Amino acid sequence: MIRKTTWATLASSLVLLLASGCAVSRGQETVGAYIDDAGITTLVKSRFFEDKSVAGSSISVETLKGTVMLSGFAKSTLERNRAETIARGVKGVTAVRNEIAVRP
């Protein structure tokens, strides 16, 4: 009796683990979408560091389903706008939300 209960518990635990273990965080539909978003984020950040007019270390980049959200601080409106332009130029970006604050 104990043995059947243990196997049933183990089997149901395994089913629950497998069903929930494949979920991708942040509400994304597939692992591929998550990987694409991570690639977009990496490309945007690397282009910030390549461009001398943008302080890449002061700007955060997050991507969800192709939409890039920029946040952090810029020294000027020009830098803020340049960061948005760079993000829009990355392949796979569908939209950009620019939440960068300009420091006085």
Predicted TM-score (pTM) of the model is 0.70
Q: State the Cα–Cα distance between residues 11 and 8, nearest whole angstrom.
A: 5
Residue with the bigger pLDDT between 1 and 104: it is: 104
User: Binning pLDDT at 50, 70 and 90, where does residue 3 land?
Assistant: low
- CATH architecture observed for domain 24-102: 2-Layer Sandwich (3.30)
Q: State the Cα–Cα distance between residues 50 and 43, nearest whole angstrom.
A: 10
Show me where the domains of the chain are located.
Answer: 24-102
pLDDT in tens, 6-29: 656 555 554 544 444 444 455 556
pLDDT in tens, 24-72: 455 556 777 777 899 999 999 999 999 999 998 999 999 999 999 999 9
Nearest Cα residue to 64 out of 22, 98, 21, 93: 93
Q: Is the distance from CB of 37 to CB of 65 less than 8 angstroms?
A: yes
Q: Spell out a b/e string for 61-72, using b for 16 or more CB atoms within 10 Å of the CB, else e.
A: bbbbeeebbbeb
